[in-house]
Amino acid sequence: QIWQGMPPFADLPALNAWLEARCIERWSELSHGVLPGSVAEVQARERMNLMPMGRAFDGFVEHTKRVSPTCLVHFESNRYSVPASFANRPVSLRVYPDRLVVAAEGQVLCEHARIVERAHDVPGRTVYDWRHYLAVIQRKPGALRNGAPFAEMPEAFRKLQVQLIRRPGG
């Protein structure tokens, strides 16, 4: 009965919100069947005796990866940037369904949205965070000119980049 007259939804969270509201609505209409009262009334009485919820399970699969000299970790044919200070060092890659978290030395270094490609004929992609390469610019200022990580900087930094390149020796 819940699915009859179901409207279209833009995404899964919208469907879940609608479904939750419909279920709660139906609980007050349905009798419990074993205990006296509706499902909502029985649930309200039972709630007083329930233990509080524990913290949410942090469900990830962990891999040990070595960061490449170009400050990238590889996962499922894709490459993700890591702060330059961790180049050529081992890190922990925590794989969640929707994101990747890179950790080392007891702290989270960075997080990227996970790329999930179903087709095997699609080439891997590289995800950069330009902030991971700021230490590289200090040693190699020319990297700012043509470096792939700096192609996606915010507009204000791109203007600064153009100004610096126009200077003598820039």
Average pLDDT of the chain is: 87
| CB-CB contact of 143 with 163 (8 Å) | no
Nearest residue to 29 (alpha-carbon basis) of 20, 19, 39: 39
Q: What is the 8-class DSSP label of residue 118? A: -
Give residue-wise pLDDT tens across range 44-73.
999 999 998 888 888 899 999 999 999 999
Q: Which amino acid is residue 104, in one-letter code?
A: A
pTM: 0.66
What is the spatial order of strands in the sheet that 61-66 belongs to?
61-66, 90-95, 99-104, 107-113
Nearest residue to 92 (alpha-carbon basis) of 117, 119, 73, 76: 73
Per-residue model confidence (pLDDT) at position 6: 81
Cα–Cα distance measured from residue 69 to residue 88, given in angstroms and rounded to the nearest whole number: 5
User: What are the residue ranges of helices labelled H in 7-154?
Assistant: 12-27, 39-47, 134-139, 143-146
pLDDT band at 149 (very low <50, low <70, confident <90, very high): confident
Cα–Cα distance measured from residue 102 to residue 64, given in angstroms and rounded to the nearest whole number: 10
Q: What is the mean pLDDT of residues 86-106?
A: 95
Nearest residue to 166 (alpha-carbon basis) of 150, 149, 145, 136: 145
